[in-house]
Structure 1
Amino acid sequence: MVTATNQTISESDRRFENLAQKVPVVIFRTDLAGNCLYVNERWCEISGLSLKQSLGQGWRVAVHPEDLRLVEAQAYKILPNQKSLKIEFRLQNPQGKITWVLSESVAEIAENGRIIGCIGTIVDISERHQIEEALRESEERFAVMANNAPVMIWMSGLDKLCNFVNQGWLDFTGRTMAQEVDNGWAQGLHPEDLEHCINTYTTAFDQRESFIIEYRLKRYDGQYRWILDTGTPRFNANGSFAGYIGSAIDISDRKQAEITLQQRAEELTRLNIILAKTTTLLQQRNQELDQFAYVASHDLKAPLRAIASLSEWLEEDLADQLPEENQHQLQLLRGRVRRMEGLINGLLEYSRIGRIHTELSTVNVDLLLKEVIDSLQPPATFHIEIQPGMPTFFTKKFPLQQVFANLIGNAIHHHTRADGHVKISVRDLGKYYEFTVADDGPGVPVEYHNKIFVIFQTLEPRDSKENTGIGLAIVKKIVETEGGAITLKPVPGTGSTFHFTWPKRTLE
């Protein structure tokens, strides 16, 4: 009977040992002193030690020196308490290869209840440990990058709750990570923005969509600042949803600029409305002024022409009876009538400057001057010289023609000799042409150089020469309306020299 029992036990031991040699994990046994009593072949593969080298205290050689004390300390804890033990440590084979392992062991108890040692397993966890290490390094790199990013960064998990904010966020709010995670970050939202912000976030979260939202967030100094927040769903390598990551920037300055711009736009709209009304009113007034000018000139000219005709009829009918003095007075009367008619025409012309639209055209100044001189009909003995090479450019023809006609006409009209001389020249000043009209007439004293451009101002008594005093005022207004300037420069001896600038492209 004993022999059969022993044989059964031996058979069981052989089956256990055969099984232990084939399993892909290390199986070991030790006594109370930590001496190795048994290891399977898997131990020899991982440790690089033979069975003989591993028995007794030989196993210690395979444990990494930095982990040996940890292994020994943990092993002694299970024996008196009869508890299981899990511990991770490194094995190092004779060639220096390191293997991370997980050891699980329990106390071995004899039939009489006495602890006689421990028995356990060792599993190679190098691959898992590498993955965990890589993940840890990745998380560290992310934390470094996130904390040094120039924007605020946040993350949330599958429960929609915030589980991370970077240092930039904490610096902005002046709070701790513990205060901001979960729903703590919402405490800094402006009360007016809270509902809209939460609704936008949860709706996008449920639909796994990106979102962009603006809200006000309290800064560390208690001031609410406008924030532009962009949230994006995160996915794991296998495509499963992992939560959200977002970035936020302070856009308060931009927001204020937008508000200011909107205010300016509204102000500009109001100004445009006022300007449109003013323009319409001005157009109405201009039309009324044109109508008044037309009616006034017609009503004023009609009696003037009648007075002139009556004086001519009287002079003809009473030619033999009127003394010479009376005939001279009738001639003076007609001269005053002509002056009055010229004054009316001049006032009309002056009032229309800048109000009448004139089309731009290509103007040959040489041909324009010849047309002006032909219309003025100067005495045959009067010489007008035009500098060769007068420009051809794009401008308003009629106003330029008026200026030349007035300046050349004045030179002829006020000259004291029939053999006078006028010279017209030009200089290119880049954006402008400077035209010069110079004569050898009696000239204008320096003290009157500014006075002659004032309307109704004349240097000669009107009784000695009929003159309205409007011509040069018209010239000045035309030139300045077109963006130029006119001056009368003193020259040695007699004569007058007028300089005026004219833009190559008329200012619109």
Structure 2
Amino acid sequence: MNTLHEGNDKLGAKDQSWGFVKALHPEDRRCMTQRASAIAQGQPYEIKYRLLAADGHYHWFSEQGTPVITAGQIQDWIVSCTPCQKELGSNVLEAPLKVVQESEQRYRSLVIATSQIVWITDATGKVDDIPAWRAYTGQTVAEVQGWSWLSAVHPEDRDRTAQTWNSAVQHKRLYDTEYRIRGADGNYRYFWVRGVPVIAEDGSVREWVGICADIHERKQVEEELKKSEKRYRDLANAMPLIVWTAQPNGKMDYYNQRWFDYTGLTPEQSTDSGWQAIIHPDDLPGCLHRWHHAISTGTFYEIEYRFRHKNGVYRWHLGKAIPVRDTHDQILSWVGTATDIDDRKCFEEVLKESEVRFRSMADNAPVMIWVSGTDTLCYWFNQPWLAFTGQKMEAEVGDGWTQKVHPEDKEACLNTYLKAFAARQRFEMEYRLQRADGEYRWLVNTGVPRFIPGGNFAGYIGSCVDITERKATEEALKHRAEELTYLTKILATTNTALEKRNQELDQFAYVASHDLKAPLRAIANLSQWIEEDIAEQLSAENRHQMDLLRGRVHRLEALIDGLLQYSRVGRIATPAEFISVKALLNEVITMLAPPPEFTIAITEDLPRLRTQKLPLFQVFSNLISNAIKHHNRHDGKIAISATDKGDFYEFTIADDGPGIASAYHDKVFGIFQTLEARDKVENTGVGLAIVKKIVESQGGRIYLVSQEGQGATFCFTWSK
């Protein structure tokens, strides 16, 4: 038997580097391709071919090759090339025995020298001796012979190993397996074991040749890789987003559990292009275009598209993918994610709609609005501003708007703005801004800082109102005030008797409204003194006019009282207490002292409630007083009742008086509104306005039901 021992690099070389290739029969050179394929795959092989001998004739040879593996890597190849028996001629059979012995010796030396366990068995798979096996396991020859070598195999692997070996021997096929072998130190290590049958010319197995390669470190690495892979998959499956991987050509080969939970697809449905079924039809073309572009260029992939949930609803997702490259920058795979951004997209749509709504409102607002950023510069003005200045947005943004500020106001304007900006404080200032027609107009500019959610400063927003007319009015009022001051001085020198009263009038705008009664009383007294001093000189008409004067003074005092009451409604808080409405009504009626012939009927089932007494007293007092005062008969009737409406009571005050036309039902609740001349019935026109304000301040409502000539019914509600 001739033996060849070549390194893996040599066997992988091109055919023409092998010296004997030239001796191959031209028809058999294709077997070199078979050998190259087996070598590339690390698989044992057997081929037959014809070689040109020195005698000029071709002879058949059988070549067998087996890889020698160390730590999972092919280090060498054992190749044997033997003449086929039917081709052995007399010259070959007479070859010197020394050549055969030398070949056998080289083979034996190779077996001993290799770091792997090389073994040979007979055709039945029984071992005679394996020195390398014994050296590693520490077994004796007797413990190795036959099938006894199995005792060094790990108990968990032993039965499987025996079955695999027995099956290979019976079927004369490649023996390829992995199992753990106990070393002489008692420790088990993983080995990759491969054996091939050596086939005789008659097709029978002459013997088995194989190796045991130590792959323990590789197995440990594989276990670590498995653990790492499991950790990766567990992590990917625990993520709230979809994770996927693809081959360099873009073919999907992995999805995490989130994908299947979300889409409802099975692994089979998700293979190849199955993922495209859940992409929204409107988004699929753009998605595929970007994905193919990323694959062809090896660039980052990012897109927003809609995924169909298993419930049929599409939700927006952000898809991203990056290529994973080796040390030679070749793409090994793609790793991608899909994150649900539907809530963010909805929020963006809301923000967009809000922005449109804000701009629409701002552009239609009756004020000029501006917005600045964190750099103090303005970046937006509404349409009223642009219409006022006659400028386009491009001309106003930044500090362009300052070009229209009056030169005398510009420095103070900017200083006020920048000082407030630095302190993040509200500001208000007045300055003149040039209008489109060239006229400078006074504006009041109010600005407030803007903060986004989270408290970060975003800039300022402000509004401007044209106050030119107001400024003119203020100037006119200023001149008028100067005139009034001058007139006051003149009056003070001509009528010292009224000096004190004039001083009180000068303080009119600065004193409480109830102090207005003092000059009114003075007028009434003065008219009385004048009437008394020149009584003989006054005619009946003059006395009547004096009475009218004093009547109007008293009416004005009543009006002031009414205004004071009206202004105080809801501002003066009194403690709540339990009130018997019936007892309260008795107090009101006693105070009003109606004519004896006037009838006021009170229902018996009036409630007792917890409320402020004074407001309710004022309401009943005004309504009952009005019913008596405006009745067209002295023997009129009033009926008072209450109805429980759940959260509140509805009180009713009905009279049989002249009634009120429907056209005046709302008018009567207005301040200073009366249905009769004030000279006919003393009336300030404030009472019902006070009543309405009190009722509404308590969370209730008041309304009138009446027809002219059929009495009037006032109804109001009051919280329990």
Given the two structures, how large is their TM-score scaled by the length of structure 1?
0.56
Query: Are 2:225 and 1:135 equivalent residues in the alignment?
Result: yes
Post-superposition shift, 1:250? 2.1
Letter in 2 for 1:152: I
Hey, what does 1:331 align to over in structure 2?
A: none
Query: Are 2:142 and 1:36 equivalent residues in the alignment?
Result: no
Hey, what does 2:169 align to over in structure 1?
A: 79
Any conservation in 1 of the 2:517–2:557 contact (CA below 8 Å)?
no
Cα separation, 2, equivalents of 1:16 and 1:189:
64
Cα separation, 2, equivalents of 1:274 and 1:212:
40
Hey, what does 2:279 align to over in structure 1?
A: 189
Cα separation, 1, equivalents of 2:315 and 2:672:
66
Cα separation, 2, equivalents of 1:114 and 1:228:
65
The RMSD of aligned alpha carbons is 4.7
Query: Are 2:165 and 1:59 equivalent residues in the alignment?
Result: no
Query: Are 2:275 and 1:169 equivalent residues in the alignment?
Result: no
Hey, what does 1:247 align to over in structure 2?
A: 337
Cα separation, 1, equivalents of 2:103 and 2:566:
138
Letter in 2 for 1:104: R
Hey, what does 1:103 align to over in structure 2?
A: 193
Post-superposition shift, 1:194? 0.9
Hey, what does 1:448 align to over in structure 2?
A: 562
Cα separation, 1, equivalents of 2:346 and 2:94:
99
Cα separation, 1, equivalents of 2:196 and 2:318:
58
Hey, what does 2:516 align to over in structure 1?
A: 410
Post-superposition shift, 1:447? 6.4
Cα pair distance change 1:264/1:115, threshold 3 Å: closer
Letter in 1 for 2:157: D
Helix, strand or coil: the match of 1:191?
A: coil
Letter in 2 for 1:259: E
Helix, strand or coil: the match of 1:246?
A: strand
Query: Are 2:109 and 1:22 equivalent residues in the alignment?
Result: no
Hey, what does 1:232 align to over in structure 2?
A: 322
Cα pair distance change 1:35/1:88, threshold 3 Å: same
Cα separation, 2, equivalents of 1:153 and 1:23:
47
Cα separation, 1, equivalents of 2:500 and 2:367:
56
Any conservation in 2 of the 1:228–1:251 contact (CA below 8 Å)?
yes
Cα separation, 2, equivalents of 1:165 and 1:186:
14
Any conservation in 2 of the 1:155–1:244 contact (CA below 8 Å)?
yes
Cα separation, 2, equivalents of 1:255 and 1:114:
75
Letter in 2 for 1:448: G
Cα separation, 1, equivalents of 2:205 and 2:324:
53
Any conservation in 1 of the 2:513–2:560 contact (CA below 8 Å)?
no
Cα separation, 1, equivalents of 2:175 and 2:330:
35
Please give the per-residue CA displacement for 1:387-417, whole angstroms capped at 9, x wherever unaligned: xxxxxxxxxxxxxx98416859836533539
Hey, what does 1:157 align to over in structure 2?
A: 247
Letter in 1 for 2:180: R
Cα pair distance change 1:57/1:188, threshold 3 Å: closer
Any conservation in 2 of the 1:25–1:122 contact (CA below 8 Å)?
yes
Letter in 1 for 2:281: P
Post-superposition shift, 1:355? 8.0
Cα separation, 2, equivalents of 1:414 and 1:182:
99
Cα pair distance change 1:120/1:252, threshold 3 Å: same
Cα separation, 1, equivalents of 2:248 and 2:95:
63
Hey, what does 1:288 align to over in structure 2?
A: none
Identify unmatched segments of 5+ residues in structure 1.
Answer: 285-352, 359-370, 386-400, 419-441, 464-468, 473-508
Letter in 2 for 1:16: Y
Cα pair distance change 1:219/1:32, threshold 3 Å: same
Match of 1:91 among 177, 181, 197: 181
Cα separation, 2, equivalents of 1:52 and 1:217:
69
Cα separation, 2, equivalents of 1:27 and 1:131:
25
Please give the per-residue CA displacement for 1:301-324, whole angstroms capped at 9, x wherever unaligned: xxxxxxxxxxxxxxxxxxxxxxxx
Post-superposition shift, 1:227? 1.3
Cα pair distance change 1:14/1:406, threshold 3 Å: closer
Cα separation, 1, equivalents of 2:138 and 2:116:
15
Hey, what does 1:212 align to over in structure 2?
A: 302
Any conservation in 2 of the 1:107–1:115 contact (CA below 8 Å)?
yes
Cα pair distance change 1:405/1:152, threshold 3 Å: same
Cα separation, 1, equivalents of 2:345 and 2:106:
80
Match of 2:358 among 265, 268, 273: 268
Aligned residues: 342
Please give the per-residue CA displacement for 1:450-495, whole angstroms capped at 9, x wherever unaligned: 57879889xxx999xxxxx9xx9xxxxxxxxxxxxxxxxxxxxxxx
Helix, strand or coil: the match of 2:149?
A: helix
Cα pair distance change 1:247/1:355, threshold 3 Å: farther
Cα separation, 2, equivalents of 1:114 and 1:408:
133
Hey, what does 1:422 align to over in structure 2?
A: none
Helix, strand or coil: the match of 1:159?
A: coil
Cα pair distance change 1:81/1:225, threshold 3 Å: same
Post-superposition shift, 1:264? 2.8
Cα pair distance change 1:108/1:241, threshold 3 Å: closer
Letter in 1 for 2:470: I
Any conservation in 2 of the 1:104–1:122 contact (CA below 8 Å)?
yes
Letter in 2 for 1:20: V
Any conservation in 2 of the 1:20–1:40 contact (CA below 8 Å)?
no
Give % identity: 26
Cα separation, 1, equivalents of 2:558 and 2:235:
83
Please give the per-residue CA displacement for 1:327-368, whole angstroms capped at 9, x wherever unaligned: xxxxxxxxxxxxxxxxxxxxxxxxxx998369xxxxxxxxxx
Cα separation, 2, equivalents of 1:444 and 1:30:
133
Hey, what does 2:407 align to over in structure 1?
A: none
Any conservation in 1 of the 2:124–2:169 contact (CA below 8 Å)?
no
Cα pair distance change 1:169/1:5, threshold 3 Å: same
Cα separation, 1, equivalents of 2:264 and 2:323:
27
